[in-house]
Amino acid sequence: MEAFLVYLGLIGAVILGGIIVTYLHAANKNKFIKLMLSFSGGFLLAIAFTHFVPELYASETKNIGLFILLGFLIQLVLEFFSGGIEHGHVHVHKGQKMPWGLFISLSAHSVLEGIPLGNQYAGIEVGHEHGEHSLLFGILFHQLPVAVALMTLLLNTNISKLKAWLILIAFGIMTPLGLTIGLISSTAASFLDFNMILAIVVGMFLHISTTIIFETSENHKFNILKLTSILIGCTLAFLMH
């Protein structure tokens, strides 16, 4: 039952993003994306440092730092193709072609982050004994503004609104797909070290969160609403520890 609710929540967050795009005016969408990204950036950074990094280093897995660095670099490569939509860069040109490279990049990221989530719900300890739902909430909080940004872009391409919704739902299925892979692969837990996968995901989170936080500055000064959103995200993550 718990896994079903997780599936529902992951897909629902993306669908909610599409609904927000449909009913919010452009200025409100941009404001929502920036504030939600700031909140999720603070949350992701905080869970990385308070939950995952300490416990990954306390595990028996060797070369954890190498896998965290690998995740950071993987995200750097993925954002080369996505154009940085993960942290709010939406380049909208009316009638543009469908950006399949962006969709594939976002999908790869979503599948990867879903795998340790699946391991967790299969009952495998993967570097986070405390704040057991922090990974799930981190993904949900970030997927929502990304879905808003993606749907905004899709509706400005040369595809129909129906196809835009189908592509958005396909994107929404990617993290649940990763979760399913994690659940299935848990049967091989005897010879697979899932801390390595989590470390890669944490490295990806570190890249996304630091980029979001630094890019929320304007003229090297933080807007008070954005700063507040970041602090609220950090505080919530700390309270979940």
pLDDT value for 130: 47
For residue 64, pLDDT beyond 70: yes
Burial of 7 per CB tally in 10 Å (0-12, 13-18, 19+) = middle
226's tokens:
């954005």
The pLDDT-based confidence of 26 (bands split at 50, 70, 90) is low
**Domain membership of residue 117 as a residue range:** 2-239
DSSP 171-187: HHHHHHHHHHHHHHHGG
| Number of domains observed in the structure of the chain | 1
The listed range with the strongest mean pLDDT (71-80, 98-107, 152-161, 209-218) is 71-80
88's tokens:
């709010």
CA distances from 71 to 35, 139, 239 (A): 25, 16, 26
Q: What is the C-alpha radius of gyration for the chain, rounded to an integer number of angstroms?
A: 17
pLDDT, tens only, 157-198: 888 899 999 999 999 999 999 999 888 877 665 556 788 999
